[in-house]
Amino acid sequence: MAVRPTFTSGDVFTAANATTLAASVVAINAQTGTTYTAAVGDVGKLVTLSNAAAIALTIPPSVFAVGDQINIMQGTGGSGVVTISGASVTLNSNGAKLKTNGQFAVATILCTASNVFLVFGNLVA
């Protein structure tokens, strides 16, 4: 994800500046089902997962590159706890915490090696 650019007085705003600026804004991917599989299009986004029932978020293999980051939030649509799991990937988390800790809990899934992820944030076991 790009770093937010800075501009000073007298700068000429170019198409390249516009592209950089657009890349620095966090996009939201709102999901309302009870299952969701993360996709490469989610990199750098906030995926909101909202449902009254429990939600299963799956991280698939061979999709993400080292450094790719997905942010997730247990959304406003209900009390459905999000459980993060992997399909042939390794998920590392302090204390094996892979469930969101309630409504508005936010977590990050960071690819640290091929098919290896660090999961951290407002999580419980």
- Residue 72 has which token pair? 């997730």
Does the pTM exceed 0.75?
yes
- Residue 26 has which token pair? 């966090």
- Residue 24 has which token pair? 């620095």
What residue ranges define each of the domains in the chain, with the CATH number in brackets? 26-124 (2.60.120)
What is the pLDDT tens value at each position of the chain, 125 positions in all? 445 667 788 888 888 777 776 666 788 999 999 999 999 999 999 999 999 999 999 999 999 999 999 999 999 876 899 999 998 999 999 999 999 999 999 999 999 999 999 999 999 99
- The 3-state secondary structure of the chain, one letter per residue: CCCCCCCCCCCCCCHHHHHHHHHCCCCEEEECCCEEECCHHHCCCEEEECCCCCEEEEECCCCCCCCCEEEEEECCCCCCCEEEEECCCEEECHHHCCEECCCCCEEEEEEEECCEEEEEECEEC
